[in-house]
Structure 1
Amino acid sequence: MTTPTAIAPGSITRPWIIDTTLRDGEQAPGVVFSDAEKTEIALMLADAGIDELEVGYPAISRDEEAVIRSITGMHLPMRLTGWARAKWEDIEAACRSGVEAVHISFPLSPLYLQLMGRDYPWVQDQLGELTSRAKRYFRFVSVGAQDATRTPPDTLRRFIADAGKAGAERVRIADTVGVATPLSICTLLERVLVTGGPMLEFHAHNDLGMATANAYTAIEAGCGAVSVSVSGLGERAGNAALEELAIALKLSGIHPTGIDTTKLSALCNTIARASGRAIEPQKPVVGKAAFQHESGIHCAALLKDPLSYQPFLPAMAGMPEHELVIGKHSGSASLKDFFQRKGITLSAAEAASLLGEVRKSATANKRSLLPSELEIIYHQLAPEN
């Protein structure tokens, strides 16, 4: 298994995809995965082609350490990484759990350093000591800059340089409270990206609704890796969503990945059950409404070419075929198609007459109509049928 190096902005690249559903995802308030669910999720992520799994935070408890050890024992075809604070006890717990890689997180912004009563010289000392010690026990060591997007760029650049000197293979730029925008990501990376330095990873949060856009932009701007979670599950508003980023990268044509996107819907459904958080209908890529259409103009075009009003075919994400919904905004083409599938051919006049009643009923009920309701209206208007 190889890891890409820092990339040139705009070039054809294969970004390294790190899933953090079992770590950051489970940190979402009220979410608890059972040991069996964690194992199932890890297996599904491996089957989907994820490059690396941040499998958990081993130091949280001996039970957590044990379940991580059981997952590492399955020898899955992806790198397994344990998360640790900048404390040797956390790193030791990761070592006991059997993971081949460790991620060590450091406070970096002025606010976080103030809250901990620390300063940058302390970060520099701990970065050098902990990274060099960790490299004796792990095949791969990454370090993270907490609250990096609220850190002065010169400080972040210094942290990246010090991390490289200490032997860290990768540095995580964490948008810890989700305040970044695509343009600010580009500006920041222009100031801190150094050829020959450690790979940069971007870790997005979705507080302002831009996590996936920011993760994609980070790749475009030169980051070699990004971290995501299934359905964007994570603290507060969550993280960059695996399914959204995977499809966006596939459609880009310049950022191939090893992800089998047809597995995305099943992954999201599994996480929804395990987390107790249902998939919202309008959820991009895997929400039911993402492939439902009612507008008459849209439906008429979709009947001719399903890509006319869809960015990709649902099957690409493992979703069922798109659905034409009959309601207030429908046109005659949708009605003709609906009844044609039932062996009934409507004339233009019949479709127009039926459409008027359909719109009245949908308006009165404030919703689209069920197939049974459409059939009732049809038979009321054409009792001889």
Structure 2
Amino acid sequence: MPITPAHHAGNPSGRPWIIDTTLRDGEQAPGVVFSAAEKKHIAMLLAECGVDELEIGYPAISPEEESAIRSIASLHLPVALTGWARAKWEDIEAVLRSGTEGVHISFPLSPLYLKLMGKEYSWVQDQMMELVGRAKRYFRLVSVGAQDATRTGTDSLRQFIADAASCGAERIRIADTVGIATPPMLTELFRELLPTGGPFLEFHAHNDLGMATANAFTAIAAGCDAVSVSVTGLGERAGNAALEELAIALTLSGVYETLIDTTALTNLSLAVSKASGRSIQPQKAVVGDAAFQHESGIHCAALLKDPLSYQPFLPALAGGADHALIIGKHSGSASLQDYFSRKGIELRRPEAMKLLMEVRIKAGEKKRALTPGELETLYSHLQS
């Protein structure tokens, strides 16, 4: 199994390199804390799922975090492991002690971020030259990050890429730190940046405008070598690009190959939800309960004939249970007949239409779909 971007570049399929940051950026979501045991469990699930690389934390934050990362590294999972660091040698040393094969060093780049730190770009150049050069003695992969890249001018980004290349960095992260990017913006950005050559480019999306997954897919389509994602999009503020959404989108595209076992996505998402204390919203794409629930009579009648009529893919592709027909205000007679047929009761159409009227009244009163018990009680009343 390929485990470094260098191997990735030699992959004749040209498949995207998927970096999961659930254990780093995901845990930075407000109020989220993973225990060391949970981190290890999630790392194992991610490796089994088939992601290419795990950004497994920020070891300089505490001795406990460093220990947790070292524990994961000791598992020797079949996946590349990277630790995150600020542009400080002390942070990089913490990554080194944690035992990961790669280090990601993050640099402020936009005018705003440089101003906030009281630095000029010359400081970035000096630090990158010193830190990347030293880090390359100890790590198989040295990645550098351009913080707030999407609020940085293209000329500045080109300069950053050129400087990173001259220092020997293998990969450069183009970070949409505050999630302002759009697909057209990224298409143009990578059109301008990719011809510069040099290190591999990675795109790191945030979901502040609800476009993170779309932006990650767009970056790949524009020729970007790698993207970072997190399970269920867990991350700071509105989160990151969602692993499960991107994986299914790449699979359905018919264009891109990944090593991801999509049937593991639902179980993985449930594990991260439990560990993070963040519930999966019903309407969440790919793994939400409502993603494969249907009520509309027209839709349900078609689904009974072909389950792909009103679904982009079968839930089994993501490891989910079968789709469900919900009985409520918008239901049709076909759904009722199907429901009772499964109970061994053949409901003729006139009976179904009569029952449907009662169902719609009751659902309107309760402002929700009906439970099986309520539905069967209505049926019993009509039979008496």
Calculate percent identity across the aligned residue pairs. Answer: 71
Question: Which blocks of at least 5 consecutive residues in structure 2 are unaligned?
Answer: none
- One-letter identity of the residue aligned with 2:145: G
| Counterpart mapping for 1:103-182 below 5 A | 103-182=104-183
Cα distance in structure 1, aligned partners of 2:78 and 2:17: 14
Q: Is contact 2:158–2:196 with CA below 8 Å preserved after alignment? A: no
Cα distance in structure 1, aligned partners of 2:25 and 2:370: 40
- One-letter identity of the residue aligned with 2:175: A
Cα distance in structure 1, aligned partners of 2:261 and 2:69: 24
Cα distance in structure 1, aligned partners of 2:290 and 2:197: 45
Cα distance in structure 2, aligned partners of 1:195 and 1:174: 18
In structure 1, the partner of 2:195 is 194
In structure 2, the partner of 1:340 is 341
In structure 2, the partner of 1:279 is 280
- One-letter identity of the residue aligned with 1:51: D
In structure 2, the partner of 1:5 is 9
Give the secondary-structure state (helix, strand or coil) at the position aligned to 1:56: coil
- One-letter identity of the residue aligned with 1:71: I
| Counterpart mapping for 1:1-385 below 5 A | 1=2, 2-3=4-5, 4-5=8-9, 13-194=14-195, 196-383=197-384
Q: Is contact 2:233–2:242 with CA below 8 Å preserved after alignment? A: yes
Q: CA deviation at 1:356?
A: 0.7
TM-score norm. by structure 1 comes to 0.97
Cα distance in structure 1, aligned partners of 2:197 and 2:234: 33
Cα distance in structure 2, aligned partners of 1:191 and 1:246: 26
* Deviation digits for residues 239-259 of structure 1 (CA, Å, limit 9, x no counterpart): 000011010011011111000
Give the secondary-structure state (helix, strand or coil) at the position aligned to 1:240: coil
- One-letter identity of the residue aligned with 1:127: M
RMSD: 1.3
In the comparison of the two structures, how many residue pairs are matched? 380
Q: Is contact 1:6–1:224 with CA below 8 Å preserved after alignment? A: no
Cα distance in structure 1, aligned partners of 2:9 and 2:180: 27
Q: CA deviation at 1:126?
A: 1.1
Q: Is contact 1:6–1:195 with CA below 8 Å preserved after alignment? A: no
Cα distance in structure 2, aligned partners of 1:195 and 1:216: 21
Q: Is contact 1:246–1:261 with CA below 8 Å preserved after alignment? A: yes
Q: CA deviation at 1:376?
A: 0.9
Q: CA deviation at 1:12?
A: 6.5
Q: CA deviation at 1:6?
A: 10
Question: Which blocks of at least 5 consecutive residues in structure 1 are unaligned?
Answer: none
Cα distance in structure 1, aligned partners of 2:110 and 2:194: 18
Cα distance in structure 2, aligned partners of 1:280 and 1:345: 36
Q: CA deviation at 1:195?
A: 5.7
Q: Is contact 1:6–1:199 with CA below 8 Å preserved after alignment? A: no
* Deviation digits for residues 35-71 of structure 1 (CA, Å, limit 9, x no counterpart): 1000000000000001000010011111111111111
* Deviation digits for residues 285-336 of structure 1 (CA, Å, limit 9, x no counterpart): 0000000000000000000000000000000111100000000000010000
Cα distance in structure 1, aligned partners of 2:197 and 2:330: 56
Which is bigger in relative contact order (C-alpha 8 A, separation at least 6)?
1
* Deviation digits for residues 9-47 of structure 1 (CA, Å, limit 9, x no counterpart): xx9631000000000011111100001000000000000
The ranges of structure 1 where at least 4 consecutive aligned residues each deviate by more than 6 angstroms after the TM superposition are none
Give the secondary-structure state (helix, strand or coil) at the position aligned to 2:287: coil
Q: Is contact 2:47–2:78 with CA below 8 Å preserved after alignment? A: yes
Q: CA deviation at 1:5?
A: 3.2
Give the secondary-structure state (helix, strand or coil) at the position aligned to 1:115: helix
Cα distance in structure 1, aligned partners of 2:234 and 2:15: 24
